[in-house]
Structure 1
């Protein structure tokens, strides 16, 4: 089954007066929809746009795997575990908040910043926070998030290029740029497909495109 969610359906958030524009794919903060809480391990897929100098002041997280993909600009990250980095376009950042961590995210540069931030629920709670950054991740190289039992595939496709969709219990495809075709439907930048028990599916670039594709199992069960 393929369920398509359009970019214009996302919940609008952020702080426009503070230079922050947020678009949420799942229930987030005051935007509560009991029918749209998660998909597999994925509990948030936020498109964030920060004006120069704007950002999120120090705030806490726990028991969440936070994966950030910078589309354009530079993201300055600082956390309570002592990590301070600048994440650039094409870089992948992961913060495992585990038993608890605080961090700051800011656009300290002079150009607009755009990034996609995805939150995943871990299989087990607690533990020590962890941090990793992958510079210039190669196209098609799967990135594992073991605590969530998930794999992220970053795909950059030329016009007309095809790629297989993983045959997993849950696959989530987010279109970052361009346009793709999947299951007879056209998805453009900001659109997403939620695929359940898909087999022998292909994704076709209808223009030069960039996609984030999560390969996941069933939703975690606790207790």
Structure 2
């Protein structure tokens, strides 16, 4: 089954007056939809847009696997475990909040910052926080989040190129840019598909879209 969710249907949040715009794909904060709380391990898929100098002051997280993908600009991250990094397009950032951690996320650059942040539910709560950045991850190298029973696949396709969607109990596909054909549906930038029980499914970068970039979560059953 393929459940397509359009970019325009996301809940809009953030603080525009502070230079923060957010688009939520799932229930988040004051926005609660009991039919849209999670899919597989995915609890949140937030597109964040930060103006230069804007950001999120120190705040806590716990019992959450947080994976971030920057599409434009640079994200400055600092946390209570002493990590301080700059995350750029092509990098995968993973913060395992585990039993609890605090962090700061800011746009300290001179140009707007756009990033996608995905929260996953751990199989077992608690533990010690951890942090990792993989710089310039390759398409052929899936990024494992074993604590959530999930793999992230980055797919960059030229016009007309195809990629297989993993055969898995749950797959979540987010179109970062471009136009994609999937299961008879046309997905545009910001659109997503929630796929249950995928078998032999492919995504294709449609001609005229200038190529495409996809983030594909492969998730075990729960």
TM-score normalised by structure 2 residue count: 0.98
**Hey, what's the Cα distance between the residues in 2 that align with 1:5 and 1:141?**
27
For 1:80-119, what aligned pairs fall within 5 Å after superposition? 80-119=80-119
Residue 221 (structure 2) pairs with residue 218 (structure 1): yes
Match of 1:198, SS?
coil
Which of structure 1's runs of 4+ aligned residues deviate more than 6 A? none
Q: Residue 180 of structure 1 aligns with which residue?
A: 180
Distance 1:44 1:216 in 2: 15
Deviation at 1:68, TM superposition (A): 0.2
Question: Is 1:8 matched with 2:11?
Answer: no
Q: Equivalents in 1 of 2:75, 2:19: separation in Å?
A: 14
Partners of 1:218 and 1:106 in 2: how far apart?
Answer: 35
Output the CA distance in 2 between the equivalents of 1:99 and 1:198: 33
Aligned to 1:166: 166
SS in 2 for 1:78: strand
Q: Partners of 1:71 and 1:200 in 2: how far apart?
A: 29
**CA–CA separation in structure 2 for the residues paired with 1:197 and 1:18:** 42
Residues 181-207 of structure 1, C-alpha deviations (whole Å, 9 max, x = no match) = 000000000000000001010100013
Aligned to 1:152: 152
Q: TM-score, normalised by structure 1?
A: 0.97
Gap regions ≥5 residues in structure 1: none
SS in 2 for 1:153: strand
SS at match of 1:17: helix
Output the CA distance in 1 between the equivalents of 2:155 and 2:165.
11
Q: 1:124 aligned to 2:124? A: yes
* Structure 1 counterpart of 2:31: 31
Match of 2:48 in 1: 48
| Structure 1 position 139, deviation (Å) | 1.5
**1:140 Cα deviation from its structure 2 partner:** 3.1
Measure, in 2, the Cα distance between the counterparts of 1:64 and 1:218.
18
Structure 2 SS opposite 1:147:
helix
* Alpha-carbon separation, structure 1, partners of 2:66 and 2:193: 20
Count of aligned pairs between the two proteins? 219
Which residue is 2:67 aligned to? 67
Secondary structure at 1:28's aligned position in 2? Answer: coil
1-structure distance, mates of 2:162, 2:134: 25
What value does the CA root-mean-square deviation take over the aligned residues?
A: 0.6
